[in-house]
């Protein structure tokens, strides 16, 4: 485990040395890694740092507001790119294609802002497991880690690249970031797009986002490593004596150390029944709720 206070001090000095009086940009995703990175870089660079958050429309319920709140002391630029993402995802149902499409829009938006602001450095929250996993190429993980190969910067600053997640969380606490940030579960870069099987539509985004909020309310108290809802296909149900063709929501809750392998969280039957009942009654278009009982491997944590 690193000594947080010392690490913070050294990282700030290092960023100052590297970037000097030039300008740097950082993409905040809402996750703990980019948040810690932004907090460090802001202390080092102040007004020469441009923190940017792209609202993809594929974020969890309340996420954009939470980020605005958590970073209210920084000149955060929030870019509303909801329409751009949904339009680009039209007709795309292949998981890797979704990652490619969403990743590319991020890069385009970034290029636009970087050009406008005339920045020369990119700060990013790459951590050690990101490097290992992308070497293994298990999935084309899209996060800001994919940016520098396509974009031209004088330099890329990655202060967290030798750290593990639990060490980054320690730093977040030491930097006094709110618990919604320091204890936040992992969330995939392409967001809810990879929690919808098949084509992404606004209706599906709405349903999976609401279902996910219920799942978090019900399952976070059982301390999972990660939990979420995914939207599968449609299936038949009966609601108020009428047969309906409604959505099937899958609930996932896992324990893991680093996401490379995972065990299913053993929830009580009562907890599961409450979740099914809340989702089907609060979301009239959902007919069925299933709990995924597959560990990783052979399944992955996400459905796509
Ligand atoms: P899988 O589904 O591969 O996920 O078992 C392992 C961990 O990685 C997260 N994940 C992603 N994170 N971009 C990300 O930044 C992605 O494209 C992506 N896909 C999966 C997943 O949520 C889990 O924590």
Look-up of token digits 């802002």: 113
Instruction: Collapse the DSSP code of 174 into the 3-class scheme (helix H, G, I; strand E, B; otherwise coil) and give the result.
Output: helix
The pLDDT tens digits of the residues spanning 280-303 come to: 999 999 999 999 999 999 999 999
For ligand 1, the distance from its centroid to the CA atom of residue 133, given in whole angstroms, is 10
Give the mean pLDDT of 239-258.
Answer: 95
Residue 106 has pLDDT above 60, yes or no: yes
Instruction: Collapse the DSSP code of 260 into the 3-class scheme (helix H, G, I; strand E, B; otherwise coil) and give the result.
Output: coil
Gap between the Cα atoms of 37 and 126, Å rounded: 9
Instruction: Collapse the DSSP code of 152 into the 3-class scheme (helix H, G, I; strand E, B; otherwise coil) and give the result.
Output: coil
Cβ neighbours of residue 271 closer than 8 Å, sequence gap 6 or more = 218, 219, 222
CA 21 to mean position of chain CA atoms: 31
What does the block give as tokens for 57?
């429309």
- For the residues of 65-78, what is the DSSP string, one character each? HHHHHHTTTS-PEE
What does the block give as tokens for 201?
């539509």
Window from 85-89, 106-110, 223-227, 235-239 with minimum mean pLDDT: 106-110
Gap between the Cα atoms of 78 and 82, Å rounded: 12
Gap between the Cα atoms of 190 and 143, Å rounded: 8
Among 30, 168, 259, name the best residue to mutate to test ligand 1's pocket (greatest count of ligand atoms within 8 A of Cβ).
Answer: 259
Cis amide leading into 116 (omega within 30): no
For ligand 1, the distance from its centroid to the CA atom of residue 302, given in whole angstroms, is 6
Residue 144 has pLDDT above 50, yes or no: no
Cβ neighbours of residue 294 closer than 8 Å, sequence gap 6 or more = 264
Look-up of token digits 């150390």: 257
Look-up of token digits 């507001």: 65
Among 143, 301, 303, name the best residue to mutate to test ligand 1's pocket (greatest count of ligand atoms within 8 A of Cβ).
Answer: 301
Residue 227 has pLDDT above 80, yes or no: yes
At residue 182, the pLDDT reads 94
Phi, psi of 287 (to 5 degrees): -105, -20
Gap between the Cα atoms of 154 and 23, Å rounded: 10
189 CB within 6 A, ligand 1: yes
The pLDDT tens digits of the residues spanning 174-226 come to: 999 999 999 999 999 899 999 999 999 999 999 999 999 999 999 999 999 99
125 CB within 6 A, ligand 1: no
Residue nearest atom 4 of ligand 1, based on CA coordinates: 301
């Amino acid at each position: 485990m690193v000594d947080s206070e010392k690490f913070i001090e050294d990282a700030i000095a290092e960023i100052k040395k590297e970037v000097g009086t030039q300008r740097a940009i950082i993409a905040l995703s809402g996750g703990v890694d980019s948040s810690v990175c932004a907090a460090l870089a802001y202390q080092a660079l102040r007004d020469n740092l441009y923190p940017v958050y792209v609202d993809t429309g594929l974020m969890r319920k309340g996420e954009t507001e939470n980020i605005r709140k958590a970073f209210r002391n920084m000149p955060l630029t929030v870019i509303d790119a909801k329409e751009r993402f949904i339009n680009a995802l039209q007709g795309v149902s292949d998981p890797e294609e979704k990652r490619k499409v969403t990743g590319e829009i991020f890069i385009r938006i970034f290029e636009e802002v970087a050009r406008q602001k005339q920045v020369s450095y990119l700060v990013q929250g790459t951590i050690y497991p990101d490097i290992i996993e992308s070497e293994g190429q298990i999935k084309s993980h899209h996060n800001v880690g994919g940016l520098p190969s396509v974009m031209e910067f004088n330099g890329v600053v990655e202060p967290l690249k030798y750290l593990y997640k639990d060490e980054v969380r320690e730093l977040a606490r030491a930097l006094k970031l709110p618990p919604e940030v320091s204890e936040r579960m992992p969330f995939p870069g392409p967001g809810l797009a990879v929690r919808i099987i098949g084509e992404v539509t606004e209706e599906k985004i709405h349903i999976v986002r609401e279902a996910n909020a219920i799942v978090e309310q019900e399952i976070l108290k059982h301390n999972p490593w990660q939990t979420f809802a995914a939207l599968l296909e449609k299936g038949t149900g009966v609601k108020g004596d009428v047969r309906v063709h409604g959505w099937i929501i899958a609930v996932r809750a896992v324990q893991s150390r680093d996401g490379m392998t995972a065990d299913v969280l053993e929830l009580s039957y009562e907890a599961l029944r409450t979740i099914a009942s809340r989702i089907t009654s609060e979301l009239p278009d959902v007919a069925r709720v299933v709990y995924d009982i597959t560990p990783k491997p052979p399944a992955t944590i996400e459905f796509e």
